[in-house]
Amino acid sequence: MTEQPVHGLAGAPAPRHWPALTVRELVPVLRGYDVGDVLGIRWHSPRPWSSAAIVDTSIAPVFVKRHDRRVRDAAAVAAEHAFVRHLRSEGFPTPAVHEPTTEPPTSGRWTYQVFELAPGLDRYRARYSWTAYLSTTDAATAGELLARLHTASEGYEAAPRPGPRPLSNPLRLLHATDLVGAVKAYAADRPALAAFVAERPWEIDLNAALPTHHARLQSYLAAEQPLWGHGDWHGSNLTWGSDTAVAAIDFGLADRTCAAFDVATAVERAAIGWLDRLRGREPAVALTQVDAFLAGYAAVRGVSASAVAAFLPLVHVELALSELDYFTRIVPRSGDAELAYRYLVDHARWFDGPGQRLLRRIRASSLTP
C-alpha cells in the first residue's frame, strides 16, 4: 500500500520522513501500557517530524507518537510529560499521558508516547503550520487559552529541556552577547550543518539579518520572567468546540522560555504566511486576527506588547537552526534544508521592511505596553 504523504515544509504534500505506525508494531508496544488490546488504526497524522496515529483499543482510543531517538530521547520526553502533568494539576485542559507500566519493547531506535484523546474537534487537522485561523473568533479564543496556559505554568520551576537538539524551540542562543557568533558555533558543532552553510554566504547573511533586532531585544531579555510555554501554538495544536478552543495538544516544542517569547511564537505561527514567502510571494498577514488573538490573551493576563514585538523578528532563530540540523543530519533533504536556511535569514529581514507594520500593530494592541 502506498503511504500517505505528510505536510511538507514548503506548504505542499511531501514524502514521509518516517514509516507510518502499523498494528503489527503497536501490539507489542502497547502491551507495556494499561490501554487495552489494539483493535486497529483509525487515522494517521500528516505531521512530518514523527509518526503518529489515533489507535483504537479495547478500552478507549489513544493517540500514539513514535520518534527517532536522535530527535526525542527519553529525557526530552520525560521533561515534556512532567510539564503536561503540571498543567493538568492546575486544571489546564490537555490530554493525560499514559506512562508505561513495564518497559515497552523497542528496536533501540524509537521513543514512544501514548496520550488520551483530547476533548473537542480537531477542526484544523488538515491545515499547515504558518496558516491563519479560520476566523477572528477562533483567534481570540486561542489567545485566551494560551493565557490560561501561562497562568497555569507560573510557579513551574523545572529546568529547560535537555539540549540543544534537533527540532526544538528553546530560548538559549538569544541570550548570547554575540548572536551571530552563537549561531556560527551551533553550526560548527554539527559537521553536516557546517558543510551545508559553508557553501553559502553564511556570515554575510547572518550579519545582515540578526544583529540590529538582537540589539533591540536585549532590555526585554533581561526583564522577562522565565516561564514554561507551549512553543508551537497554532490552530492544529488545539482542539475546538463550535466557536472556542477547548484544549491544547502537542507539547513537543514546549520549553522554559518566557511569556512574551511564547506569544510572539503564536503570532508568528498563525498570522504570517511564511509558506507564501517560500513560494516567492509576499506573505499575507492576518492583522485582524492578530488584534483578536492579543485581545483574547489580554483579557486573561498581562504581557508586554513591546517585548512581544521585540521577540518576533528573532523568535524563529533556534527553531530554524534545529530544522537545519534535522534536514542535514537526521533526515538529509537538501531542498528542505535550503528552505530552512531561507527561513532563518529572510524571516528577520522581512521585519526590516513589510514586517514593521505588524510590529506597530502589536505595540498598539490591547496588551500591556
Amino acid 36: pLDDT: 95
Residue 109 to residues 18, 22, 69, 155, Cα–Cα distance (Å): 12, 16, 6, 35
Amino acid 107: pLDDT: 59
Taking only the tens place, the pLDDT of each residue in 147-160 is 999 999 999 999 99
Confirm or reject CATH 3.20.20.300 for domain 6-116, answering yes or no.
no
Average pLDDT over residues 11-20: 79
Q: What is the mean pLDDT of the chain?
A: 93
Taking only the tens place, the pLDDT of each residue in 149-203 is 999 999 999 999 988 899 999 999 999 999 999 999 999 999 999 999 999 999 9
Whether the domain at 6-116 and the domain at 136-363 fall into the same CATH topology: no
Which residues sit opposite 63 in a β-bridge? 54, 115
* Domain edges within the chain: 6-116, 136-363
Residue 150 CA to its chain's centroid (Å): 16
136-363: which CATH topology? Aminoglycoside 3'-phosphotransferase; Chain: A, domain 2 (3.90.1200)
| Cα Rg of the chain, angstroms | 20
**H-assigned helices in 272-316:** 274-278, 287-298, 305-311
Identify the band that residue 10 occupies on the pLDDT scale cut at 50, 70 and 90.
low
